[in-house]
Amino acid sequence: INLTNESSEGQLDAYVQSGEWDLEAFDVVRKAVVYECCPTVYPFVLFTIRIRRRT
């Protein structure tokens, strides 16, 4: 499977704001790894979500 991402930012169409947390960042990065044992490329999409608790 060759995974790809369409954007470097997450899609927030269905995001529901929280009274307790703020969404600070939602990043999307495609990466690929080749392991020593195998010549095959293993792509993956990494989602990073950064939230901050409201004070």
Q: What was the pLDDT predicted at 9?
A: 74
Looking at residue 11, what is its pLDDT?
Answer: 74
> By the 8 A CB rule, do 4 and 31 touch?
no
Tell whether the model's pLDDT for residue 6 goes beyond 90.
no
Separation of CA 2 from chain center = 16
Q: How high is the pLDDT of residue 13?
A: 77
**Would the pTM of this model clear 0.75, i.e. be above it?**
no
Measured distance CA(40)–CA(2) in Å, rounded: 11
Domain ranges of the chain: 1-55
- Segment 30-55 shows an average pLDDT of 92
